[in-house]
Amino acid sequence: MSCTTILVGRDASYDGSTIIARNEDSCFGEFDPKRFVVVKPADQPRAYTTVQSHLTVALPDDPLQYTAVPNADLHIGEWGEAGVNEANVAMSATETITTNERVLGADPLVEYVPAKGAEGEDGYEPAVPGGLGEEDFVTVVLPYITTAREGVERLGALLEEYGTYESNGVAFSDANEIWWFESVGGHHWIAKRVPDDCYVTMPNQLGIDEFDLDDAFGAQQDCMCSADLREFIARNHLDLSVEGLSAFDPRSAFGSHSDADHVYNTPRAWYMQRYFNPYDEVWDGPDADHKPTGDDIPWARQPERKITVEDIKYVLSSHYQGTEYDPYGTLGTEATRHLFRPIGINRQNHLAVMQIRPYRPQVNRAVQWLTYASNPFNALVPFFPNVDDTPAYLRDTTTRVTTENMYWENRIIAALCDAQFAETSAAVERFQQKMGALGNRIVAAADARVDELVGADAQAEEKLDEQYEADDISEDIEPMEPADIIAAVRNADVRAALEQANNEMAAQLKDGTDDLLNSVLYTVSMKMRNGYNRSDN
């Protein structure tokens, strides 16, 4: 599954939030309609069987409620992809990543092996289940964790026990930290804490470029890994660092460096970092510090200014605007305009941006920004995940094309606008700005309503005022133990208020999307080849 991920540490974000964001892109030639749902404890399976690998996993009996963005058509599995649970922990799964032959030879992927022959006949061999994969991760991990660090630990333990049939990167966040997890072969893994003052770009490649093994096998302050990783590296001669000159580099040891990466992956990291750090380095021309095809683009770096949700939407919708590589642009040549794989692509399924706000009470500090289909033509809007149900416009996606749900309406708009990009771009931009502004207003109004319901905590307000004065709003104003967080977010009155805000957002989004569809349909219809400008009247 091809995707693009951005992670933003709390000191790098505009409001002190931790933010994890990812485009889920379907495979070439496919669309996977998505739904936004709440999974309640009673609906969570206790024995989970994967569709892809036919593996059955026993699950704990005390799941938390969580949101997910599963497929509307479940014939290939659940694919929950992104959500927030009742402990205010967010998870994004997965970023498909690439590795190399040395790793796969040392620890093969755990793939499903179908049965051979018929049971009872000579030579019959029963089927062998495969490991876990993107289809499963949210379902078997998110309901059972109360911190981002616990997410790493649970997913790591599952991979060590059952293995995986693909290479993936997974993000976990809470109000205090973000962890990035990468699988290495069938059973091994590494994870690194995102520095608070940095952002991370991940474009379908194994990304971590520096890793402290001593920390991973010691205090685990910033690094964690599978139990035998050190021996695995040594036994298979995977460490390519030069003694005394470089630290252990997982990207070199475990990752790929193919020619295809330089067309499909590295240009996306180049463009995102070019956007967030335009003046730190030279990005264009023969003397560029980093080129679109470079293997040395850093995994994490400090931005030149704080990063907003709007910034994230822009870069995850981007198609190399302002460069010769823009397929909708006029710079360069026809060849350069189609040289690299864009970030905002036709086969996008959804974008989720999960924001955990430390300056809000636990009861409503999580926001799951969401949109469906091709990002250059849609609008990212906020929804509160700690509710009992989600709006029908996003929840009830069908496998049948219809304008009555958000996924297909956005898909239709994208197909129309792509054909007449220049003529429709102004209408799309107005729609995106209008919906984004409306979303921020709805969040602010919901925050005010929640404050009325739960009462303002004078000590927390004083703490927040001090942080504003110090220009540091990343410290948690209402720290709680996980059990207390869960109890807080189960406030029925608050859930009802947040659900009302979500429904208002969905209704306004539906109206705005209908208007955009009307506008672009008219514009594109006037460009049809069988048009004739003489009026019949």
Q: Which residues are catalytic?
A: 3
Closest CA to 91 of 111, 69, 109: 69
Print the SS3 string covering 103-114. HHHHCCCCCCEC
CA 67 to chain centre: 14
Closest CA to 303 of 5, 14, 20: 14
Task: Supply angle C-alpha 206, 77, 224, rounded to 5.
Answer: 30
Tokens of 400: 């049948």
Rg of the chain on CA atoms, in Å: 24
Query: What DSSP string runs through 54-121?
Result: --EEE--S-PPPEEE--BSSGGG-----EEEBTTS-EEEEEEE--B-HHHHHHS-----B--BS-TTS
Residue position matching structure tokens 């010769």: 324
- Half-sphere exposure for 506 (CA within 13 Å, toward CB): 22
Contact, 520 vs 512, CB < 8 A? no
Residue 488's φ and ψ, nearest 5 degrees, are -65, -45
Does the CA dihedral 60-65-69-70 come out positive or negative? Answer: positive
